[in-house]
Amino acid sequence: GPSDDTLVKMGALQRTLMIQQNQKWRLMTCPWLHVGVIHLSLDLLSTIFIGIHLEQDFGSTRTAMIYLFSAFLGSVASAAFVHNIPAVCSSGALFGLLGGALSGLIRNWQIYTFKYRALAALAFVSITNFGLGLLPHVDNFSSIGGLLSGFLLGFILLFNPQLLHTERKKGLFVIKNSVKLRQKLDKPTQRIIALIFFSIILSGGLYVVLRGVNASKHCSWCSYINCVPTKMWRCNDKTTHM
């Protein structure tokens, strides 16, 4: 993968640049960076696998909204815990889709078959990508932020699946034969509560980042969520090369 210097030049998160030099624009660039071919390939394959099924059920617009908002909230979560090791946050968008797929499955539970197969697939993709986030530079806090964002946005946006004239019998989510094409699945109260929580989390995260608060100082064990030290790499505040 690229060196630390290259990641920094391309827009990765780094505490000294974010806080001391006020380069908040890195919140917008870090979600599009990867630390190497393996990270890029796994991220793209997982995104395509989950994204296609969400687009089939709920359309491109709602899927794109979850993807982009989760990418941003993921970078905000990463910035709250960021160290001086350059961090990329591309997993935030992917985990946003995973969270959206999970909440979409939960809120529309009664219309799907093979629910547990779908849950197992989501769990496998999540665990695999979260494990990759234990390496240096790949930020797991962005994954957590993206997952939470996608989960809440799923309750806000993923209602009334796009039911076809013939029930779909293939894919991750299989629609039951008994579903009426114009069935109303919207739950306004649930959507409002999810919107309130999403707004609070986004506003609180931005406040922490803009004030330059280092959340890792208040959670000594949180560093192990993001990186597990081994003989091959370090997990301290000094820059490393992979």
Determine the Cα–Cα distance for residues 91 and 47; give it in Å rounded to an integer: 9
Domain with 189 in it: what CATH number? 1.20.1540
CA neighbours closer than 13 Å in the CB half-sphere of residue 149? 30
Residue 134 lies in a domain: yes
Nearest to 77 by CA among 195, 196, 238, 202: 202
Tell me which residue range forms the domain holding 53: 4-226
| pTM for this model (two decimals) | 0.84
**Residue 232 maps to a domain:** no
Q: Is residue 143 part of a domain?
A: yes
**C-alpha distances out from residue 45 to 34, 57, 144, Å:** 14, 19, 19
Q: Is residue 163 part of a domain?
A: yes
Q: Is 233 part of a structural domain of the chain?
A: no
pLDDT in tens, 41-81: 999 999 999 999 899 888 999 999 999 999 999 999 998 88
Number of domains in the chain: 1
Is 234 among the domain residues? Answer: no
| Helix and strand totals (H; E) in the chain | 10, 2
Using one digit for the tens of pLDDT, what is the confidence trace for 149-198? 999 999 999 877 765 544 555 556 555 554 454 445 567 888 999 999 99
Q: Are 137 and 1 in contact (CB under 8 A)?
A: yes
Which range, 59-63, 134-138, 211-215, has the best average confidence (pLDDT)? 59-63
Residue 45 lies in a domain: yes
Q: Is residue 13 part of a domain?
A: yes
